[in-house]
C-alpha cells in the first residue's frame, strides 16, 4: 500500500499516537512502520512487552531498517518529536506529560509487566485528552484494555487491530469487548487511517476524569499512595501477588481491575493468572518438602528397629499419600 505524499498541516505535538503490543509484536510493528510517511506529523510512543534483561536493540534496529521514521529508546526528560517512534526501555515504564515530555520510571509493575501498556495510555489520555490516539495490536491477555478505555473516556481515538489479522488475538479481542473502537482494522490499513485522522480538524479539549488523573499520578510519582487508591475503589479480601499488600477493586463497566497502594495493578484475568502461578509454585515447594520428608523417614527407619522403625515407615508412607495427591493435581489439565 502506498503512503500519502501530501504534506499534513498539523503542528508538532497537537496529536500523539500510543501503541501497545505483546506476543507477535515485532512482526506487527514491522508492517505498521512500513506504511507511515517520512513526514508523519506526530510522535509515536510504543510499549511492547519484553523481558527485563533484554536490550530492545534488535527491535529498534529492525524497525529502523524497514521504516522511514526514526526509532529510538525513550529517555527520561526527552522531548517527543514528530516523525519519531519512541520505545519503552526494558524494565521501565514509559509515560508522557504535557507538551510531549517523556518520563521513564521504575514504578510498580502493572498487569505483571514493566513496561506496561496501561500506564502509557493513561498518561497520554491525561496529557493529550481527546487528541490522543491509542492503538492495540497483537498480544496475550488484556494489558492495554484499561488504558484504551481511559483514552476513550477522554474523547480520544481508539484503534484496534482486527483480531482476525492478529497473530495473537487476545489483546485485540479483550479491548473490543470493553471499548467501542473507532476503527477495527488490519495493520495494512493503519497508515492511511492515521493520515486521514491527522488531516481532520482538532477537536476541543474535554475535562479529564479525576480517577484517570489519579492513576496516572500514581505511576508518575512512583510512591505509595493510600488516599489515591481509597478514592479509586473499595478494599477487597485479596492480596497483591507482587507485594502481598491489600488490593482495592476498581470497576469500569464490566472490566474489573485491582490495585494496591504501592502501585501494582491487575485486571481480573491477569490477577487470576498470577494467583494460579503462585499456587503452582507453592504446590511444587510442598511436593519437594514432602518428598524430602519421606526420604528422611525412610533413611531413619533403616537405622532403627522394632516399633521405632515401623513408626518411621508408616509416616513415610503417609507422606507418599500426600506426594501422590499433589503430583496428580500438578499433572492435571484442570486449573
State the pLDDT at residue 13: 56
State the pLDDT at residue 4: 38
> Three-class SS of residue 68?
coil
Q: Give the per-residue SS3 of 3-39.
A: CCCCCCCCCCCCCEEEEEECCCHHHHHHHHHHCCCCC
In Å, the largest CA–CA distance within the chain is 95
State the pLDDT at residue 222: 63
Taking the C-alpha atoms of residue 328 and residue 226, their distance in angstroms, rounded to an integer, is: 42
Q: What is the mean pLDDT of each run of 10 residues along the chain (335 residues)?
A: 37 81 96 95 96 88 96 96 95 94 93 94 96 96 95 96 97 96 97 93 85 89 72 89 90 87 89 87 91 93 89 92 89 64
State the pLDDT at residue 199: 87
State the pLDDT at residue 210: 92
Of 14, 42, 25, 10, give the one whose Cα is nearest residue 191. 42
State the pLDDT at residue 230: 84
The 8 Å CB, 24+ separation contacts for 232-236 are 232/259, 233/259
Taking the C-alpha atoms of residue 144 and residue 248, their distance in angstroms, rounded to an integer, is: 19
State the pLDDT at residue 150: 97
Annotated catalytic residues are: 22, 49, 143
Amino acid at each position: 500500500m502506498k503512503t500519502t505524499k501530501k504534506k499534513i498541516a498539523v503542528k508538532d505535538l497537537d496529536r500523539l499516537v500510543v501503541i501497545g503490543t505483546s506476543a507477535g509484536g515485532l512482526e506487527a510493528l514491522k508492517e505498521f512502520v512500513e506504511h507511515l510517511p517520512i513526514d508523519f506529523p506526530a510522535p509515536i510512543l510504543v510499549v511492547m512487552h519484553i523481558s527485563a534483561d533484554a536490550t530492545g536493540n534488535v527491535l529498534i534496529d529492525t524497525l529502523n531498517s524497514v521504516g522511514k521514521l526514526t526509532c529510538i529508546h525513550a529517555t527520561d526528560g526527552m522531548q517527543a518529536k514528530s516523525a519519531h517512534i519512541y520505545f519503552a526501555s526494558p524494565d521501565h515504564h514509559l509515560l508522557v506529560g504535557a507538551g510531549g515530555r517523556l518520563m521513564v520510571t521504575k514504578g510498580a509493575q502493572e498487569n505483571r509487566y514493566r513496561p506496561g501498556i496501561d500506564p502509557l495510555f493513561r498518561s497520554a489520555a491525561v496529557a493529550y485528552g481527546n487528541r490522543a490516539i491509542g492503538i492495540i495490536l497483537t498480544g496475550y491477555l488484556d494489558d492495554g484494555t484499561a488504558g484504551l478505555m481511559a483514552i476513550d473516556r477522554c474523547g480520544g481515538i481508539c484503534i484496534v487491530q482486527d483480531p482476525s489479522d492478529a497473530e495473537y488475538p487476545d489483546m485485540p479481542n479483550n479491548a473490543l469487548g470493553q471499548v467501542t473502537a473507532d476503527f477495527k482494522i488490519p495493520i495494512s490499513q493503519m497508515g492511511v487511517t492515521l493520515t486521514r485522522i491527522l488531516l481532520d480538524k482538532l477537536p476541543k479539549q474535554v475535562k479529564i476524569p479525576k480517577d484517570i488523573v489519579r492513576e496516572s499520578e500514581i505511576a508518575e510519582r512512583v510512591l505509595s499512595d493510600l488516599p489515591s487508591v481509597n478514592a479509586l475503589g473499595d478494599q477487597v479480601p485479596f492480596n497483591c501477588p507482587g507485594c502481598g499488600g491489600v488490593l482495592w477493586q476498581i470497576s469500569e463497566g464490566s472490566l474489573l481491575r485491582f490495585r494496591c497502594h504501592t502501585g501494582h495493578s491487575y485486571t481480573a484475568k491477569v490477577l487470576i493468572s498470577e494467583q494460579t502461578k503462585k499456587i503452582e509454585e507453592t504446590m511444587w515447594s510442598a511436593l519437594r518438602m514432602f518428598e524430602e520428608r519421606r526420604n528422611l523417614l525412610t533413611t531413619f527407619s533403616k537405622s532403627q528397629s522394632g516399633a521405632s522403625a515401623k513408626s518411621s515407615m508408616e509416616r513415610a508412607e503417609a507422606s507418599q499419600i500426600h506426594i501422590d495427591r499433589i503430583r496428580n493435581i500438578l499433572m492435571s489439565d484442570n486449573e
